[in-house]
Structure formats: structure tokens, C-alpha cells
Amino acid sequence: MSTIKVMVNGLPGNVTQMIASHIARDEALTLLPYSLTGPEIDIDRIAIEDTVIELIRPDRRDASIMTIKDSYDSFISVDFTHPSAVNRNARFYCTHSLPFVMGTTGGDRQELHETVTKAPISAVIAPNMARQIVGLQAMLAYGAENFPGLFQGYTLTVHESHQQGKADTSGTAKAMVGYFNAMGVDFSNDQIQKERDPAIQKQQWGIPEAYLDGHGWHTYTLTSPDGTAMFELKHNINGRKIYVEGTLKAVNYLHRKVQDGSQGRIYSMVDVLKTD
């Protein structure tokens, strides 16, 4: 039985290590022994299960990818790197005809989409790979489309907390704000309150110490103009397992699309959900 070949980029990041480990243990998937990494990474290799992964820095990747393609032919790339690398990485994948799953947030999203739609490959791009959260977003998207102005005049507060190493504001929080905007709430992304201090996360938020280095807690609170009505929505995720599961679903989905000849298409996690 043929397997889906996957190159996980962004090692030795925590999320990518988990994704790579799951792929290495999955009989239907093959983990490539290479990973694109950042210029600041000072190690050359990392062991994932029984596979030793060679880490390829930016100054070597154009030459290295040709050798990798010759050895493995077609494969899916998984990208969880740094927000500053989003557009550069997307251009690299498209230039070298590498279909990819991208869970990295940040970057110029309009440029990102234009890059893919003009390319001979397709991609799954989502700021959140957790299928259950994506499903929740889809429900709010339905509300935004069908009940515009539902929360007209209401005040919104958004609090999000992630591990200290997350550089940008939560892409999920930004997406949720967009839905509330469509339902009549006056709120901008720069009003999102983000927390990255582990001491505050533990003492004031009550986030378990074991998950301070890997969590995503969000609270959205809507209050009526006179203060007599309040609605609150939360999704608190400890660890990264939920994102790994969603990413592997996206890999399988994109593989099927590639087999069908898809080009220049961007798929979302909602597309992936619809095939579960």
C-alpha cells in the first residue's frame, strides 16, 4: 500500500515535533527526513521517533529541495514556522510546485492567497487547525451572514492567552472579531487583549503550569448598552493534540485534492470538516 509522503517544516518547534511524531507512527504516512528551519536554529539534525531529520536553513533550501524532490517525487509540506516567514515560505512552495498545509498565522494574508491562486499547486491554509474550533467559527459565520446587526450597540471584550513564544495576536481571535463585527459590534483587532506572561497566566488566568508552554485560551464577552444582558463565549485548549489531529486531517484532504489534479486552489479547514 502506498503512503502519503509528508515533509514537516518548522522543526524543532514544539507543534511540529508533535506532528512529525504522529506522522512517523502512522502506517498510512511517510515522514521525510528533512525539514526547513529558521536561520537562528543552531542544530543540524533532530531525531523524531526512529527518523533522523536533517534541518535545512534558508541559505541551503533552494539547492536542497531539488535533491529532495528527485528522491521523493511528490509529497505534502506542512508549515508551522514563524509569522515573519509566512509569505516567503509560500512563495518557495509555489515556485517549487509543493502543495502545502499551513497553520502558521501572520504575514500578509492577501499576498499569501494571491501567491497560491497563481501557482500550479493547491494548499490548505488555516489560522487554526483545531476542527472543533473551526466548527464553532463556522456557526458564527452563519450567524454573521444571516443575522447582521444582532449585537448592534453591544460592547465586546476579547482576551486571549498563548505560550510566551507566540509572537503575534491570535489569528482565531481576529477571525472571531470579524464575525462579531458583521453582527453589529464596533471592535477592532488592536483592541484584542493578549497575554504572554507565564506568571500572569498561571496566577490570574488559572492556566495549569504543565500547559504554560502550549495553550490557547480565548474569552469573548458581549455586553448590552445598558448592562442588563451579557453573553460570553470561551474556548480553552491545553496542549497541542487538537491541532495535530486537525493537521493530519488536512494532509489527507489535500492529498486527495492533489490526486484529483487541483491547482491554484486554497482550501480552508471548513472544507476539510465537510469531508469528515
Give the integer Cα–Cα distance in Å for 246 and 266: 16
Q: Select which of 82, 162, 218, 249 is catalytic.
A: 162
Domain ranges of the chain: 4-121, 131-238
- 131-238 CATH, one of 3.30.360.10, 3.40.50.300, 3.30.300.30, 2.170.190.11: 3.30.360.10
Residue 191 pLDDT > 80: yes
**pLDDT range class, residue 106, cuts 50, 70, 90:** confident
Q: What is the pLDDT of residues 41-74, one digit of tens each?
A: 999 999 999 999 999 999 999 999 999 999 998 9
In terms of Cβ atoms closer than 10 Å to its own Cβ (0-12, 13-18, 19+), residue 254 is: buried
Kindly report which listed range (60-69, 80-89, 94-103) carries the lowest average pLDDT score.
80-89
Q: Select which of 5, 113, 159, 166 is catalytic.
A: 166
Give the integer Cα–Cα distance in Å for 123 and 77: 9
Arithmetic mean of pLDDT, 90-96 = 97
**pLDDT range class, residue 14, cuts 50, 70, 90:** confident
pTM: 0.84
Confidence (pLDDT) at 84:
87
Residue 1 pLDDT > 70: no
Arithmetic mean of pLDDT, 69-80 = 94
Beta bridge partners of 267: 124
The hierarchical CATH code for the domain 4-121 is 3.40.50.720
Catalytic status, residue 166: yes
Catalytic status, residue 162: yes
